[in-house]
Chain A
């Protein structure tokens, strides 16, 4: 993805269903060969956006350009775009071969070529031996593979995937995530992937588009989305996060002083916006950035830069342990602790008194809306 040339451009896309505005002035550029994920809660407009690109819906206003040419008025069968449907939509009256061949048959390609191509495609998704089966005779994972082969055999410019893994169980979903990603690299295709599962979005994508109520909240790499959320919606939707209220006391060149839960902190100035003295801010911290230490005697004062709290609830997760800590200031903090190989004796229990701090500079500062 060194040379980023734009393949599809969405300009001011707006879509109404009756009086409901489902998409609101969406601008987006999709680059050639990238794996782009549209992420958002249900009803955010991500599926509608996908359907607009596929041609199943027409935008109320705005344009869709492919390689600079407008395609918004073209029917689905005349766009170089193919879709993998959520429920796969395999034709129940055709066997695997005929399903995969469908697109090529529609193009009027000769039979021998179709046969070659179909088997090549089935080979790629490891389904060659099932070519004569009907969809009803396949497991959902197998149906998924057939649906993939049926779509990419047409050599589309873009492959659209509408929550394709949501019908699969956890284990299979994990496997398919990897396979999909490899397939995408192998084919060198542009994928536009819709999901509400943030883990899926982060693990597979080159870029993630976070949508909410028909508007784009943030576009960025998975790391950017997770580590540098632009606003509270993105911060809260993508992963767990602790939110503290703060007040700016003093600002200098690179740092500013603030008070959080009655404790003083010197934090790095955010790049995205200007902090000024007296303004209110939010300090956001991921649970895995929290540092927790046990306090043996309650009389001891909390060290600098640490909040005192009591463990309210804990969940053992195998590799990690999640702690919910009630602070003196009334916040409930979630902290994820990795088990320390060197110090296996640390055993947390409910009602333990702990100090909580965080790894310096890993906080995210947002203005208080």
Chain B
């Protein structure tokens, strides 16, 4: 009993510590103070400020667009890669596996500069395209890994059983493969979205004023001090994503 209580206390503490800055940020979004790190009475003016501050809102919308698109692209690329790795045997398969691990493990700054060097050498102007491609590159291995784990997880005999019962290759993909990997694909998408929307380092290198996303906008504000309207924006974004995820999770469960 005591042990159980101590364990509970421990995980509670860790979660609390993880959430304190988040809570502080949200609380400060209601602070009637010009700088975002002190409390000076309650106000909601930062929220009304936010919705009139088109710059910040614009950046947030760009971020969401970018994260959504790169998550979708990563999901497509990642799922194709996973299915190929699972189903085909080919020369260089090991190379593909290890490059996936390398991408996931290599520090963002290394990826950021190598991508920006290439874009500059190739003469690709920095902006939306470079951001989208870069985000897709560092997100898709996570999709591949989740989908691959799912593919390995189910019985190979299921495919044989379907084929035995008269299913063609197309039927197998449509009726067996896709329904079975959908949860993993969804999880991969969510992972990509999360990584993409919170990325600072890679975007710092491959991004540009022409498509200024939220992290870059905020980063440029850090030096002068962040105003509470940024906190307000983060609170809004947080709750929107949070409810979106809960909703989709529920929907997925109902469908099951």
Q: Is this pair of chains taken from one and the same complex?
A: yes
Taking chain B's interface residues, is the majority helix, strand, or loop, or is none over half, making it mixed? helix
Across the interface, do A103 and B165 meet the contact criterion of CB distance under 8 Å? yes
- Asked if A150 is at the interface (CB within 8 A of a chain B CB), the reply is yes
Given contacts A76-B160, A85-B160, A87-B157, contact A92 B166 (CB under 8 A): no
CA distance in complex: A75, B163 (Å): 8
Q: Nearest Cβ distance between residue B155 and chain A, in whole angstroms?
A: 6
A91-B158 in contact (CB<8A): yes
Within 8 A of A (CB), among B88-136: none
Interface size class of A (residues with CB under 8 A): 20 to 34
Within 8 A of A (CB), among B162-207: 162-168, 171, 175-176, 179-180
Contact B180 A102 (CB under 8 A): no
Bound CA–CA A107/B168 (angstroms): 10
Please, how many angstroms separate the alpha-carbon atoms of A10 and B176 in the complex? 32
B24 on interface, CB distance cutoff 8 Å:
no
Contact between chains at B168 and A92 (CB < 8 Å): no
Instruction: Knowing A89-B155, A92-B154, A93-B180, say if A82 contacts B164 (CB, 8 Å).
Output: yes
B157 touching A77 by the CB < 8 A rule? no
Q: Check if B161 is an interface residue, CB within 8 A of chain A.
A: yes
Are A89 and B163 in touch, CB under 8 angstroms?
Answer: no
A54 contacts the other chain (Cβ, under 8 Å)?
yes
A106 at the interface (CB under 8 A from B): yes
- Interface: A56 (CB within 8 A): yes
- How would residues 88 to 129 of chain A score, 1 for a CB under 8 Å from any chain B CB and 0 otherwise? 011111000000001100110000000000000000000000
> CB distance B166 to A154 under 8 Å?
yes
A75 vs B164: C-alpha distance when bound (angstroms): 9
Q: CB-CB < 8 A to B167: which residues of A?
A: 77, 102, 106
| Beta-carbon nearest neighbor of B168 in chain A | A77
Select one of B158, B168, B171, B180 contacting A89, CB under 8 A.
B158
Decide yes or no whether A326 CB sits under 8 A from chain B. no
Which A residues touch B171, using CB under 8 A? 106
Query: Known contacts being A87-B157, A89-B157, is A76 close to B179, with CB within 8 Å?
Result: no
Cβ of B201 to closest chain A Cβ, rounded Å: 39
Could you tell me if B163 and A82 are in contact, using CB atoms closer than 8 angstroms? no
Complex contact A106–B165 (CB within 8 A):
yes
Residues of A within 8 A of B162 (CB): 91, 102
Please, which residues of chain A bring their CB within 8 A of the CB of B161?
83, 85, 89-91
Q: Report Cα–Cα, A55/B154, bound state, in Å.
A: 21
Which residues between 57 and 75 of chain A lie within 8 Å of chain B, taking CB atoms?
Answer: 75
Least CB distance, A157 to chain B, in whole angstroms: 13
Q: How far is the CA of A151 from the CA of B155 in the complex (A)?
A: 18
When each residue 18-62 of chain B gets 1 if its CB lies under 8 Å from chain A and 0 otherwise, what string results?
000000000000000000000000000000000000000000000
Q: How far is the CA of A92 from the CA of B180 in the complex (A)?
A: 8
B179 touches A85 (CB 8 A): no
B7: min CB distance to chain A, Å:
30
A105: nearest chain-B partner, CB-CB: B175
Interface centre among B155, B165, B175, B176 (most CB of A within 10 A): B165
Task: List 5 tightest A-B contacts by C-beta distance, closest first.
Answer: A103-B165, A106-B166, A89-B157, A89-B161, A76-B163
Q: A-contacting residues of B (Cβ < 8 Å)? A: 154-155, 157-158, 160-168, 171, 175-176, 179-180
A-side residues, CB < 8 A to B, are 54-56, 75-78, 81-83, 85-87, 89-93, 102-103, 106-107, 150-151, 154
Give 21 pairs: A residue, B residue, CB < 8 Å, sorted on A. Answer: A54-B164, A55-B163, A56-B163, A76-B160, A77-B163, A77-B164, A77-B165, A81-B164, A82-B164, A82-B165, A83-B160, A85-B157, A89-B161, A91-B162, A92-B154, A93-B179, A106-B165, A106-B167, A106-B168, A150-B165, A154-B165
